[in-house]
Amino acid sequence: MNTRTAIITGASAGLGLECARALLAADPSWHVVLAVRDVRRGSDAVAQLGRPDRCTVLEVDLASLSSVRSFVDAMRAAPLPPLHAIVCNAGVQVVSGTEKTAEGVEMTFGVNHLGHFALVQGLLDGLARPARIVVVSSGTHDPAKFTGMPSPNYTTAADIADPADITDAAEGRRRYTTSKLCNVLFTYELDRRLGHGARGVTVTAFDPGLMPGSGLARDYSAAGRWAWRYLFPALRVLPGVNSTRTSGRRLAALVHDDRFDAVTGAYVAGGRQIPSSKDSHDRAKARDLWETSEALLSHARK
């Protein structure tokens, strides 16, 4: 009997799909909303999952705040069990130039952070307690870890949302790592504003590790895409390199596992809490990110 609903963004493939698979297998009480940009691919994902009675596909394009608002309205109107979990999973990595969202925000920041910020803000009052919000970040947010990616560069959120054009892939990858830092800053600030679990909502950030074969390399060069798909999977013998199936199970655990009932304001990797970067605890940056995000949402509604 479905008694609880979980939303998973980007659930038509990769980590999101594997999170949905693991959640459906772990606990029969959950109904999963696959929040996807392409409804046809979402329907194909439901067929793969084999539980159409416990899945709903709803369209959302995180690169459009209007689409996010429409998704929130659709969730409120849908005859679903109470909403107890939101998994902010969808992500992009644009390295071949500067792309913008429908509102003119830099695409990587707009999808990875701002779209999810708008989604959570729109659904927060409708969450049934106890509830969990999980934000997928990345170890690349931490310059103290060797990831092969450029270190984040958080100046101001306004600069990140509307940067100068880029001419090289390295700067595109830096925008990605900066957006992943924004994910952790948002997690901690939301947790503070929700009273560290006192209001019945826990908030955690999740590091899935390096997942070769996932869709994040789709904007890479042809050689880069080939290596990501065929060469990098051989690295799974190394610590911190995972299949999407393994990371999907760990992500789903943050939704359903009793071990995480009281865990909030935490950064989780490999199934356990670990320290996040120094900058992720910078409250001035977190406040700047929150206030700028609110301003961008307010401007988009005008």
Please enumerate, as own/partner, the contacts of 257-261 that have beta carbons within 8 Å and a separation of 24 or more.
Answer: 257/26, 260/132, 260/202, 260/204, 261/130, 261/202
Tens of pLDDT along 231-270?
444 444 344 566 899 999 999 999 999 999 999 999 999 9
Question: What does the alpha-carbon distance between residue 24 and residue 30 come to, in Å, rounded to a whole number?
Answer: 6
d(CA 204, CA 261): 11
- pTM, two decimal places: 0.91
Phi, psi of 77 (to 5 degrees): -90, -20
- What confidence category does residue 1 fall into, taking pLDDT thresholds of 50, 70 and 90? confident
Question: pLDDT tens-digit profile of 63-90?
Answer: 999 999 999 999 999 999 999 999 999 9
Q: Is 220 a catalytic residue?
A: no
Cβ contact 10:80 at 8 Å? no
Question: What integer pLDDT is reported at residue 225 of this predicted model?
Answer: 40
Instruction: Give me the pLDDT at residue 219, please.
Output: 46
pLDDT at 239: 47
Q: Where is pLDDT greater, at 279 or 167?
A: 279
53 class by beta-carbon count within 10 Å (0-12 exposed, 13-18 middle, 19+ buried): exposed
- Determine which one of 176, 188, 220, 267 is catalytic: 176
Pick 209 or 229 by higher pLDDT: 209
Candidates 226, 118, 220, 236; CA nearest to 176 is: 220
pLDDT tops 90 at residue 221: no
Mean pLDDT computed over 212-217: 53
- Element of type H or E holding 184: helix 169-193
CB atoms under 10 Å from CB of 294, counted, come to 13
Q: What is the pLDDT of residues 2-55, one digit of tens each?
A: 899 999 999 999 999 999 999 999 999 999 999 999 999 999 999 999 999 999
pLDDT(217) > 80: no
Residues in the chain: 302
Sheet holding 83-88, edge to edge: 55-59, 30-36, 4-9, 83-88, 131-136, 201-207, 266-269, 272-273
| Fold annotation for 4-301 | Rossmann fold (3.40.50)
